[in-house]
Structure formats: structure tokens, C-alpha cells
Structure 1
Amino acid sequence: MSPNEDRKIREKFKQKTWNEIRTNDSWAIFKIMAEFVEGFERLGKIGPCVSIFGSARTKEGEAYYELAENIAYELTQHGYGVVTGGGPGIMEAGNRGAARGKGTSVGLNIELPFEQHDNPYIDSDKSLDFDYFFVRKVMFVKYSQGFVVMPGGFGTLDELFEAITLIQTKKIGKFPIVLVGRKFWSGLIEWIKNTMLTEGNISENDLDLISIVDTKDEVLDVINTFYKKYSLSPNF
């Protein structure tokens, strides 16, 4: 364990003085508020966008990288912008495809001790940096009209289940959630069906919140079909 990790654990057991609370915890509110204000002001006019989630570790040339780039490109050709986490891997592929399609390309970057760095395919005025994961996740769900989830790790699962939970609890609209890669996601979906549903922790209707596909055409079909029901389409 690194000295920094050790310090963070020990600090949780330390009884803070009133002065420490005021100078550290209370003042953090203003940093959080500043991140919300900047996010709301800069993203409020980006227009219809789809968030693409996925692993930062996926390399250029790998199948899912190429697929994510092509999905993003096709989204821009149908009038959607693309929002990603702003970093490497699937995020870079998403922004790269959006840039190739001359569409809106947004990056919501988070400062991490590893993996994360800005990719070069984000619109210069649409790159935001966050210290707080929860503020960043608010921006993802507030300014997205759909979610495309590529294979990824814990962060991808966090973003996926955040979107599902908010839709399930009717905190946001029932926007389409599309999982890409049946082979990758099938084990998770089977566990949700055979364990969560069987135990009564979710309802049968909750399974309808998710679509699972393999191709870019299927992704576009899910999103376009959903919005046709409401006679809605992006503005070109």
C-alpha cells in the first residue's frame, strides 16, 4: 500500500476539529458548485447527443475501438453529437468518430492517478475537466439522449448502472441504453435475469430498459426507432 493510500485510510478514523471541518469539508462545497456551474453553462447548448461509455484500456486497431469509432461516426451522420469521458481507449474512439463525421464531440475528463488523459479529438470548447465523479456523471445523464455502452471495466459498469437506476426510478426520461457486444455482456445479463430477477430485486419490465447488439447498424436502429415513436429527431 502506498503512503498516500495509507494516509487516506487513517484519515477516516481521525476525529476532525471544527476548524478542519470548516477549512476542508465545508469549503469543498464551492469547488463542487463551480464544477456544476461550468458544466451546466458549457453543455447547455450542445444539442442532442449520445454518450459512449467503455474501457480506457482498449487500443487503437482493436475490434471494439474500431466499432466505437464507426458507431460515433454514424451517430453524427444522423444528427447526434457524441459525449465521452474524454480519455483514451473507447473514449478516444468515440470522439475520433465524431470528429471524422464533423459532429459535436464532447469530452468530460476526470483526473485519475492512471490511464486518464485528454484525447485530441474533442472540440476545443467542449472539453471539461472534473475532480468529482458524481458531478461528471450528472453531466453524462443530463445532456445525453441515449447511452451506448461498449465493453469496459468498473468505471463503465458504474456509468451503465447509474443510467439504468435513474431511468428505472423515473428521475430521467426513458432514454435508450444499448450494450454493444453480446459475447462480452451476456454473462452479466444472464446473472441479472437468473439472480436479480429471480430473487425479486428487479421487475420483469426493468429488463426492457436495455438493448444488446453487435453492430453499428443495430445501435442506430435502436436509437432511431426509439425517437421515431415520439416523432423526434436531431436538428441538422
Structure 2
Amino acid sequence: MLLDVNGTLVPSLPGPPPDAAAFAPVARLARLLGSAGIRVGLCSDSPLEQLWAFGRVVGLGTPPGFPVVAENGNVVAVGGAVRVMTPFPARQRIRTEVAAVASAHRLVRAEDATAPEFGGVPPARHAWAFGANRRASVSVFGPPEFIGAAERHLTGWAVRHRVDMSVELGPDRTYLGIHPYARTRLGKRRALARLAREEHRHVLMVGNSPADWVPDAPGVTCAFVGDADIPDDVREAAWYVSGRAGLDGVVDILDQVIRRRSPLPAE
């Protein structure tokens, strides 16, 4: 069972790290599920190291004791084994292009950054930074005008050089995520389908957006929190859609699994 982070466990917009006490109901239900043979983990665009640390805050256990799908499906950690699912050969070239855009904007490069929800501090006004701990993607932090310029430059650069990749702006335009496939949501879909197939496990994905929807993948089922921005056909096809928003919706879904409405067989 995999829980999305931004927009599901924490708000979509960047903010300070949440209080661990807020996750106490999730931790309690995750322990109950674990005793029944169902492991609860995380699935996010964020890097593995940040998700391992965040999982401890949520109360999912000690890394690598819970499953993690990181970097939008590019990196998977299950049972202590870390795999890069989608290599990114153009990654270093992309970093060089981003640095050139930053130089044109006369910005100073700061140390690699982590997102605010993981305790990170955004770069200063006249600075920019790459995201820390990325293995198979690139993330960039900086002022909105620079991030917008980098997005436009990389989009054109990918077309000119025939590089298969996606470039996605964060909701407040101070963040850029770059992944090795043309459509961002493909990475998560491929990773979860492959995980279910190769690990011989059923996967329940809990999220808040169409990016968390994995259609036509044997062994993968989806549930959504109540404020999910999803089309009606997805809502109808989902295993469960909570009537509660955000973290309360996650707690509701975990409770539904415990009540044996679950599509998840125990391991």
C-alpha cells in the first residue's frame, strides 16, 4: 500500500514540515496493517532519502523497512534493494543547460536543496539550487522568473535534441521537475505495474490527482482522498474515494482496508 505525499499526506503548496503528532492515526493504522501482512509505504516525486526520513516521521517504521517509490517511479526501494527503473542518460546534459540559464539570470548557485515539507530552506532571492539526492531525475529550485525561463528553455532543447523527457512546474513556480519520459505520470504507472508483476504483490495506490491513477495494470488498484481532482470516470473506477480531504482521507482509506473492504491480500 503506497501513500502519495504532496496533496495527500501534506498540502500541495510548499510549507514547513508537518508535526509528527498529526500522523499518529496513520502510524497506528499502518501498524495494524503490518500485523496483518500489509506493508504501508510512500510514493512521490521526491528523492528516496527524503522519503525514508519522512516515512519515519509519519510512523511507517525504520528505513528500509517500508516500501518507497521515489522520483515519480524512477527509483524503487523494496526490502532493502534500491533499483533505478528508468535511467536518464541526458541527466548531466540537462543540469548543464539549467546552469547556463541560471548564469544568464545572474543567479548564484546554492547548495543542493530539499523541499520545505522535508525541512529544506528555499534558496535566497538571488540564488538557485538543484534538488538533493536525485538518482534518475533533475529538480531545480529558484525564483519564479528563472524557473519559468528554465522550463521554456528545456522544453525547446528537448525537441531540438530529440530527448524524451517531461518538464513540470511546481504549483508556486519556484520548483521544476524533469523526468526521463514525455508524460510525467507514465513513470509512476510503469513502476507500480512492474512492482506488482515482479514482486507478485497487489499494490493499492492512495493519492489525490490523475497522476495517482494507474489504469489497466494487473495487480494495481487506486483510492483517492475526498478533495481529489480526478475525472468522473476515474472516480467511478477507483476502489474507494473517501469523503474526507487530505490526511483525514488517508486515515479513512486505511481504516477501510482494515475493515476488510481491502483489495490487498496479506503477504
The answer to whether the superposition gives a TM-score over 0.5 is no
* TM-score category, normalised to shorter length: 0.3 to 0.5
> Where is the helix percentage greater, Structure 1 or Structure 2?
1
What TM-score results when the alignment is normalised by the length of structure 2?
A: 0.39
What TM-score results when the alignment is normalised by the length of structure 1?
A: 0.43
